[in-house]
Amino acid sequence: MSSDPSKDGRCNATTRDGTPCRKWPVGGAGEGRCRFHGGASTGAGDTSHLEENDHAEGNPGGGAPVGNANAEIHGGFSDWRKAYERFDEDTRNHVDRIAEEMLERTAETAPDVLAPRRTKLAREWATLMMLKNRTGADVWCSLDGSGPGRGFIVEKELDRDGEIVTVEGPNPALRAEVTLSRRQREIAEELRLWCGSHPSE
């Protein structure tokens, strides 16, 4: 057996501690590398076509463009600030009206909460209300299954050992709706919006 990994057909990469890897290469790797050192890579060998790529310009990290909602069904799992930014003008105006009405009330119910915090919480609560309405619309439909909602149970396709199977499970919007409701309750408690929650004098 040779001590030189490149001569005995094993991976010729060097590990972090400086020793040769010596794992068996992945078939067809071409460079004699194991799957941990690039043998399983499906990336292009020639990346010259990516020079001057500006697809993610102004978008560090290469994520979706700002305001993108391509994969959004109801927005129930969105950060409320991003969801607010993505609302159309009418929806944003509606949310702002609700938040303004809340601010008038919370000035009386929670005078000890700083005004900027009350403003943020009122806008968050109103935005969450809109998102909760959308999650509800994704779930609720008539008994015969007609209507815009997908229902409580949804189907999705999974790949199991190369075979595509259809499974049923709860609509993810149900979990989103519960999460949104929980956060709304937390805000209502902090702003003392519940009956009888006013500070005693």
pLDDT tens, residue by residue, 46-55: 666 666 655 5
pLDDT digits (tens, 9 = 90+) for 52-80: 655 555 555 555 666 665 556 667 777 88
> Which two three-digit tokens encode residue 124?
């968050």
At position 81, the amino acid (one-letter code) is R
At position 193, the amino acid (one-letter code) is L
Return the H-helix or E-strand segment holding 20: none
The model carries a pTM of: 0.59
Rounded Cα gap, residues 58 and 55, in angstroms = 9
Q: What is the largest CA-CA distance in the chain?
A: 88
